[in-house]
Amino acid sequence: MLRYSPMLETYWVEMVGNPDKRDKTARTLEKAAQTLETLFGDIVASERSGKNEMLPKIGRFSISSVISELRFHVRVIKFC
């Protein structure tokens, strides 16, 4: 693993960009998640309680899934 560490660093920089860009992107994605949560708060609450399955039935992602995925990607970006 240590032998490949210089290549891994280059790989990560190419994959996720420089630290300033990563921070800005993470903040933007988190703000998007918060905006969706604020805008669709009632729908998210009903999805989490299992009462609203409308979007998955028509082949779309639920709002709560989109928010969850955005936050997952924020964690990945911050981890890098």
Q: Which residue from 35, 51, 31 is spatially nearest to 43, judged by alpha carbons?
A: 51
d(CA 19, CA 65): 27
Q: Is the pTM of this model over 0.75?
A: no
Condensed to tens digits (0 to 9), the pLDDT of residues 7-45 reads 776 776 777 677 788 889 899 999 999 999 999 888 888
DSSP code, position 2: T
Sign of the four-CA dihedral 63, 40, 29, 67: negative
Residue spans per domain, the chain = 5-79
**What is the CB neighbour count within 10 angstroms for residue 74?**
19
